[in-house]
């Protein structure tokens, strides 16, 4: 059996304080971090997990995050580098609806958008401290077709979403099973860094700190029992070790 191809799409970088990367740790130290998306070319569907940030939105609403994104780092350009157009994507699934994970959804109008039903509701009516996180609602365009889900969910054979709430109410991490290579577990913002996973240091941005810790433990458990490598969401040092599109894992 041929494994799916897994492409990591570079979406540029942002800056936050280290105490937001790891809650209460090293306040006053700005950290630049990567934003990336995952394209899974499976025999049954072309699946895009997360779509990065929209540069105009961040410049307008969160300019203090000092966005850097070249034209080559946009979703349409990254898909083109892999030989695809936005219309080729069958399923978009966002780990959660924060602005740095949904910015490219608006380019992909033919796909179904898989979303945890609680995440969709919460994005529309966030708590006061979540408003900046949920500030880019451009994913909610007129042509969008939502497929609301809950619980753990197998999208196509061997491509799984696992519930990892805490950072947000309906957060999903992605597991891609590979037979001829190490399986790949994409944490989303349930784990920004390897330190998150090793020390159970949650991010400063979260809805529920206790659930955030449980999500980290679940990711470590999944990696161990599914024999998967873990890919945290926002750490430059680990990102720089990975193969980026148009290169791919699996296949």
Please give the biggest Cα pair distance in the chain.
50
Distance CA 148, CA 45 (A): 18
Q: Which residues contact 21 (CB under 8 A, 6 or more apart)?
A: 31, 33, 192, 193, 203, 204, 234
Residue 100: active-site member: yes
Pick between residue 106 and residue 171 the one whose CB is nearest to Zn ion: 171
CB of 232 to Zn ion, least distance (A): 11
In terms of CB distance, is 34 or 158 closer to Zn ion?
Answer: 34
State the DSSP H helix or E strand holding residue 92, giving kind and residue range, or none if neither.
Answer: strand 91-93
Q: Which is nearer to Zn ion, 74 or 178 (CB)?
A: 74
Residues forming contacts to Zn ion in the complex (CB under 5 A) are 100, 189
User: Judged by CB, which is closer to Zn ion: 177, or 189?
Assistant: 189
Choosing from 3, 20, 54, 100, which is the catalytic residue? 100
Please state, in angstroms and rounded to a whole number, the distance separating the CA atoms of residues 232 and 189.
7
Which uninterrupted H or E stretch holds 10?
strand 5-17
Distances (CA, A) of 82 to 4, 77, 78, 88: 14, 9, 7, 11
CB of 14 to Zn ion, least distance (A): 8
Q: To the nearest whole angstrom, how small is the minimum distance from the Cβ of residue 132 to Zn ion?
A: 12
Which pair of tokens denotes residue 107?
A: 């380019």
Cβ 135 to Zn ion, closest distance in Å? 13
Residues involved in catalysis: 100
């Amino acid at each position: 059996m041929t494994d799916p191809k897994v492409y990591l799409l570079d979406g540029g970088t942002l800056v936050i304080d280290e105490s937001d990367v790891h809650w209460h740790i090293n306040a006053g130290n700005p950290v630049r971090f990567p934003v990336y998306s995952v394209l899974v070319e499976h025999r049954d569907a072309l699946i895009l997990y997360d779509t990065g940030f929209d540069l105009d939105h961040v410049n307008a609403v969160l300019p203090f995050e000092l966005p850097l994104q070249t034209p080559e780092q946009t979703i349409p350009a990254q898909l083109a580098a892999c030989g695809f157009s936005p219309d080729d994507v069958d399923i978009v699934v966002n780990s959660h609806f924060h602005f740095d994970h949904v910015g490219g959804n608006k380019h992909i109008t033919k796909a179904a958008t898989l979303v945890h039903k609680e995440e969709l509701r919460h994005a529309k009516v966030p708590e006061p401290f979540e408003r900046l996180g949920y500030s880019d609602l451009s994913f909610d365009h007129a042509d969008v077709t939502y497929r609301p889900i809950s619980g753990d969910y197998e999208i196509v054979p061997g491509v799984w979403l696992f519930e990892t709430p805490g950072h947000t109410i309906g957060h999903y991490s992605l597991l891609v099973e590979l037979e001829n290579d190490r399986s790949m577990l994409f944490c989303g913002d349930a784990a920004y860094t390897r330190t998150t996973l090793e020390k159970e240091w949650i991010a400063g941005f979260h809805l529920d700190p206790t659930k955030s810790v449980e999500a980290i433990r679940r990711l470590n458990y999944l990696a161990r029992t599914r024999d998967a490598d873990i890919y945290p969401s926002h750490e430059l040092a680990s990102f720089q070790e990975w193969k980026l599109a148009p290169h791919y894992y699996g296949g």
